[in-house]
């Protein structure tokens, strides 16, 4: 599982012009990619890491300050462009495998106490964000 985490002042996700997820206060924007061998262990680790990571101002975590989290599925985190000019997506798990794991990460974040907003899995999404810093971190299980 890969997650790209950005500290943001605000963020929103639109699908066909409709806002489906939004942070209207500082929090974390998480792009989440799932690979073939991910499972419950990676779900738990990723959710806990996102929630407890001291990435916010004054080395605070989202759990310290109750910051919201917007989670957007992004299979392209597993794109491989080392050869040729066209990336391959073979390392990304297919939708029937990755969607339940995406949902599980969101549910685990909620179980930990996070207010979670979501993109729409598999949709063509337009993501807007105002980065804070900018601060961006890549996590990989």
The answer to whether 66 and 16 are in contact (CB under 8 A) is no
Q: Which domain holds residue 113?
A: 2-132
- In a domain? residue 140: no
Determine which one of 6, 35, 74, 121 is catalytic. 74
> What is the pairing mode between strands 27-33 and 69-73?
parallel
- Report d(CA 77, CA 33) in Å as an integer: 6
Q: Structural domain tally of the chain?
A: 1
- Report d(CA 61, CA 53) in Å as an integer: 5
Tokens of 13: 């996700």
What confidence score (pLDDT) does residue 12 get?
A: 98
Catalytic (active site) residue 126: no
Q: What angle do CA 104, 28, 67 make, to 5 degrees?
A: 95
Q: Which residues pair with 70 in a beta bridge?
A: 29, 117
- In a domain? residue 80: yes
- In a domain? residue 141: no
- In a domain? residue 139: no
Determine which one of 76, 88, 90, 126 is catalytic. 76
Against a cut of 0.85, is the pTM above it?
yes
Query: What CATH number is associated with residue 77?
Result: 3.50.80.10
Catalytic (active site) residue 88: no
- In a domain? residue 137: no
- In a domain? residue 18: yes
- In a domain? residue 138: no
Cis bond upstream, residue 54 (ω within 30)? no
What confidence score (pLDDT) does residue 80 get?
A: 95
Number of H helices, E strands in the chain: 3, 6
Catalytic (active site) residue 121: no
**What pLDDT digit, counting tens, does each position of 66-123 carry?**
999 999 999 999 999 999 999 999 999 999 999 999 999 999 999 999 999 999 999 9
């Amino acid at each position: 599982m890969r997650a790209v985490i950005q500290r943001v002042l605000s963020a929103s996700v639109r699908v066909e012009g409709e806002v489906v997820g939004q942070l209207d206060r500082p929090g974390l924007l998480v792009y989440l990619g799932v690979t073939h061998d991910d499972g419950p262990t990676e779900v738990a680790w990723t959710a806990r890491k996102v929630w407890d990571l001291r990435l916010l101002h004054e080395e605070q975590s989202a759990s310290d300050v109750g910051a919201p989290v917007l989670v957007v599925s992004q299979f392209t985190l597993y794109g491989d462009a080392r050869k040729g000019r066209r990336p391959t997506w073979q390392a990304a798990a297919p939708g029937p495998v990755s969607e339940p794991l995406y949902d599980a990460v969101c549910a685990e974040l909620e179980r930990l106490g996070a207010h979670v907003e979501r993109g729409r899995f598999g949709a063509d999404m337009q993501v807007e964000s105002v980065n804070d810093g900018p601060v961006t971190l890549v996590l990989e299980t």
